[in-house]
């Protein structure tokens, strides 16, 4: 997927394989992975003669944003899919927390 994100053009399986030299993957392996990515909707593919050309369905940033929005529970549904460590707060509570932080650091840090 990083290879697809790394270029502007749509790539064929062979072109992806060439760019993955350090991994030394079989042509069929790359083909299977790309096919799976396309089925899951992460990559779009188009016919180019006898080969498929693949391009990412969305930018890496868009997926990172989706990931973080779900993680921070901003998507609107309380799906309870994830358990988040803490959320950030505002107003008086933030003031209380800043006070607590100063107290902790005042004690010599942790």
Nearer to another protein, 49 or 91 (CB): 91
Q: In what order do the strands lie in the sheet with 51-56?
A: 11-12, 51-56, 43-48
| Residue located via tokens 């993680």 | 71
- Interface with another protein, residue 71, by CB under 8 A: yes
Among 14, 23, 27, 98, binds another protein (CB under 8 A): 98
Residue 97: φ, ψ to 5°: -65, -40
Nearer to another protein, 21 or 79 (CB): 79
- Min. distance of Cβ 75 from another protein in angstroms? 9
- Interface with another protein, residue 101, by CB under 8 A: yes
Tokens at 37, concatenated: 């990515």
- Interface with another protein, residue 62, by CB under 8 A: no
d(CA 56, CA 4): 6
Look at residues 8, 19, 14 and name the one whose alpha carbon lies nearest to residue 59. Answer: 8
**Residues lying near another protein in the complex (CB under 8 A):** 1, 40, 42, 60, 63-72, 74, 77-90, 93-94, 96-98, 100-101, 103-105, 107, 109-110
């Amino acid at each position: 997927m990083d290879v697809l994100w790394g270029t502007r053009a749509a790539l064929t399986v062979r072109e992806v394989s060439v760019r993955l030299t350090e991994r030394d993957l079989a042509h069929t392996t790359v083909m299977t992975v790309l096919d799976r990515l396309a089925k899951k909707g992460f990559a779009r593919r188009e016919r180019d003669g006898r080969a498929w050309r693949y391009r990412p369905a969305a930018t890496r940033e868009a997926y990172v944003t989706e990931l973080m929005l779900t993680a921070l529970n901003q998507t609107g549904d309380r799906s309870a899919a994830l358990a988040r460590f803490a959320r950030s707060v505002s107003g008086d509570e933030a003031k209380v927390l800043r006070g607590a932080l100063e107290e902790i650091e005042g004690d010599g840090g942790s």
